[in-house]
Structure formats: structure tokens, C-alpha cells
Structure 1
């Protein structure tokens, strides 16, 4: 889903624009800012319409590098546009340097640039950003495998790999480093976790990856709803069961088109944690972690996600429509007074076949008449809900 404000851009990116408008955009005839134009052209070059795709490719190739450079330096371009420019080997080193320096450039795009470039000086610039190398160790490997690397680029890459990925250090020492770097919430989690010890999680890179996804400190977590001393009573899954959960989540992620290598790696790392650690992570993790754990087959873990203080109304709206979420989660959403005042949320709950029938029935009187009529025809929900929706709709119509 695009977040572009320009309605013309929205229509083109979503495929709703008529062919004539798409062709005009592909030829660069629409008066769009550089950032919007690039996003539109990048999307249209993938069009099934050969004329549109070829026109978009031609227009992209005709973009002046000086204007592209200014847009990159001004942080005006989207990650998708930056990734595209990083893949262009015909661009100037100055432009590639700006892309490498830009924080919005996706890590995977930098890794690909490090693999494909034949410019040793550019590899040195990429190697300077140690924070990015720690976050995406595949960049380190790309630098070291590139025959064009300079001795300086190789030195920096090897030092980073040795310092952060090859030393055998305990989780507590790593947590101390996280705290020193301002990652207090992550340090708290690592120190308290039971399934992140040296034998369970020896890869320091995984610990640092996890640290980037923890945003809530212990002080901001309200765990009064669940006595943690009782968690030990919960039955842990077998390795085979956890592996099956991982494959299911990856499959769902692929269907949704979000199966990046980083997300798949994160899913594997999270789902092999203990139940107790997943509960803590659900309450402390960022949006990406929440989107994974809300699908956890353990309803206690999924419930912990909606106790996360950073959970937004927009996320709750999406969760209310999910058909792979625990019924208990949907019931608790409906009981939350703040969320129950949001019409999109209660509308999604009413339409969700996973919503417990008593919960859905209680929601129906708050729906608009047109939505009641639509729900009465919705074969995905239970017959009980459909009949009650029809009765309410008829009552309001005076039938």
C-alpha cells in the first residue's frame, strides 16, 4: 500500500489509473516531483503492457544524474527508489556514494551494490558504516568476496566481522555493550531472556538483529495481567512443533509479499525462543515483531502483543481483520473501550469469522445499516451472525 499523498501517484501505483494516464506517466509527461516520478517509473517498468514498461525504462534512463544526486542528498527518495538506483551500474561514483551514505537505502541494496561494484573506493565508503555492517552482515561478506576490494575496505570489513560476529562472548557481555550504545530496552531483554544463552543463540549477529527490534523498556511494560511465575507451568513446544510454526508463518509472509530474507531470519530466531521469552518480546518488540507474534499459535504470546504500549490503532484495525489470530485476542480487542470506539475496528471484528459469536453479536447494534445488510449476505461469517444482522437491518428499515 502506498503512502503517497498525490492522488494521481496513488492511482498509478495501485494500478487504478487508466492506461492513457499510465503511458503519459511512463513517458515523463506528468508534472511530478522527482521522488514521485521515480516511484511511478520504477513501478511502471514492471507493467505487463510492453509499451508502458519500455517507456518507463527509457524515461528512467534519461533522468539527469545531477538531479538524482540532489534528490538523494536531500533525503527525498523512497527506499524503493534508492534500491533501484543502487542497482544501476551506469551511474556515477558520486551518486553511488550518496546512496551508500543515505540511511534510507535498504541494507539489501547496499549488499548488492557491494557485490556488483568494481570501484574499490566505493567499497571503502560502504565499509566505513559499521552500524550498517553489524545490522546486515551480508554486506561484510559481499565486500570480502568482491575482487575489487581495497586493502582498507577489507581491513574494515574483517575487523567488524571479528569484533561483532566471531568472538565467543556471553549474552550478558553483549547486553552490556548494547546498554553502552543506548540500547537499554534491548539490553534488559537479553539479560532476562532464558533462551538466548551461548548454547541456544551463539550467533552474536542474531542478538544484534534482535536488539534493533526492541523498543519498549521494562519500566513501560505492564505485566500485571500475567503472573510470570506461572509461565513455567506452560507446556513448551517441541523442536518439531516450533519448526512447523516457523514454516507456517513464513508461508503466510510469502503470501502477503513480505518475505524478505531479513524477515524470514527474524521469524526463525523469534519462534525458536521459549514461550516465556516470546511473551516478554511481544510486550517489548517493535511493529515488525508484533506482526509476527500476533500470529503465534500460543494464545498467551499473541495476547501479550495487545499489551504492548506501542501498539497503534492502525495495527489493531489490521489485527481485527486477521483470520489467523487467536479468538481470545479478538475478544480482548472488543472489550477494550478505546478500540471499541473505533468504527473500522468493530466493523472488522464483526466481519471476521474468527471473532467469537457472542462478541460479534454484541458488536452488531453499533454497525451502520448498510454494513449490517452486507454482513447479512456474508457467507464467511456464521449463520447466527448473519441472521442477527438481517434482523437489525430490517428493524431499522421499519420492515
Structure 2
């Protein structure tokens, strides 16, 4: 919660203008930016207060004035120590002006809520500005999380942020695949900060564009299974598949977090267990996708283990049943789910040729107990 502006810190003329009981004409003039005797920083502070006025005309005029402050007033305000609420208002109003944001981000009293907002919604230029202050990031790990999960943050910057947190033993629980991302970064070369995007940054952006073009709600899966049960990538997804294959492990993990459904369905089959686990942990995974994955016999046991340990997916009877029936599901996991199935399904499982013997035995034992 950003602290409110303390009226007691304002000069008497500023307090007179900002008081709710102030004469309407006085507030109307100030709302247009006309307040003789007030310095730029204090005038801007008064405008922020008036932008919350109960007087409609004053509120609307002050808001418009703040969105297009004359350069002398804006420059003067940026050179003073602004209250957190004023910094926040300007940061939201001037997101398209990096020089302004750079000065706001250097404000000693900028609030973490402002940083979180900018880290979540900012473009590439904004996220680069935020990522520079490592000391502040370590004090506010949630900002690192928001930057990582912002698609506009460069991949090279995201790598440096994960490396920064890992080296300083900061656990970023807001990143669903934090464990995988942290483990992967230890074996990778961390790029130095660069004024321009690196080739890896360009690869990440180009892959995003290709993935968006291939998004198709009508496609159930990215693979087709042949008569022998072997999977093959559908031809339309081969360009995306090859792009992902060219990426580092860290890059594929982040694409699993931020990419399209098609990317997640490709990456959940990745030969690298860290990547596959990250894909199934993606916050964008839907129940239908998990149901499809849980019955796939080409999926790794680690992915199936992650599904079984996720409470959200264990509310689905279909997913529980698919995990029990899937021979790739670890035996300990499958047998723990057996008691949760209906009797009719247990009978079918106990006779199935496609279920492992330990699971069939567990189904029979549970049926006997019920009798």
C-alpha cells in the first residue's frame, strides 16, 4: 500500500489549495497548473492530490494536466524528492518516456508497489531500467519474479536476474518453475548487459512471433501417434519445434512459462527433464491439457509425478484415472491413487493388459477390501 501524501509537509499556500474546503476557483486554476509561488515538485504534488478530488471538474482537469505537464514543471519535479504517491502517479502516466521513468526509478522514496506495476506492465526499455538496480531487486524479490514473467523483458536480462537470485540464495517462489530455472542457470554462460538485444534475445522474440502465428484452438495436440505408439511432431509445428530446439535450457524453461499452448505441449516432451517439468508447472496450463498429458505413454515419469503432486489437478477424476492407467506413471504414485477410483474402473484396471502388474495387484487388493 503506497502511503498517502502527508499534507503537513506542504507549504501553507499548497495546503490552502489542496484542502477539500478550498475555493473552487483556486482549485480550478491549480488543476490547470497555475499556482504562483509553488515550486515544480510541490505543484506536481498538489496536482496529484487534486486528481483525487471529489469535485469532478477539478479531478478531471488535474488528471489531464498531470498527463501532459509542461517540460519546465516536469523537469523541475523530477529534480526534487517526490512523495511515493506522486512518483507512482507519474510512473503510470509517463510509461512511454524512458528518460522520465529513469529519473523516477532513481527516486529514493519510490514504493515497491510502483516497481511491481512497472515490472509487470513495462516494455523492454522499462524492464531494462528496473533490472539495473541489483541491490533493490535483492531487497524486493517479487520485482525479479514480475520481470521474469513479463514477456517484454529480454531473455538475457531474465538469465541475469535468475543468476543474481541464485548466487544470493534468494528463492523466487513466484516463478512456478523456479527450481528448474535456478538449476539450469548454474551450467550456462551468463551474458553481460548490452545496450542492444543479443542474438539470443532476438531468437526468443522471433520464436514468440512464430508461436503466436501457429496458435490454433482447433488443434488438440502438437504430435500424432503412429500405429506402434510412437509420436511424431505434426508438420505445421516443425518450424516452432526447431526454433525451440535451438534454445538453451534456460530459454526453453522461460518459453514454457510464457509461451503458447502449442509450445507447452512441445516442451512437456522435451528430453531435458528440467524443461519438461517447467512446462507442466506453467501457470497457463489448463485442465484439458493436463488430462491429455496424463494419459500419454510417451511422457516422462517426472512430468507425471509433477501432475500427481499438484493439488489443482488432483481434483479431476479423469486425470487421477489416467495416471493410474498410464504405465509410465511411477508405481508408488499410481498405487496411491488406486483407492480414489470407482469400483467399476478398478475392475477394468485389474484385468487390463496395458497397466503394470503392481498397479493391477493394488487394484485387486483394494477391490477385495471393499468386498
TM tier, smaller: 0.3 to 0.5
- Normalising by structure 2, what TM-score? 0.43
Structure number with greater CO (CA < 8 Å, separation at least 6) is 2
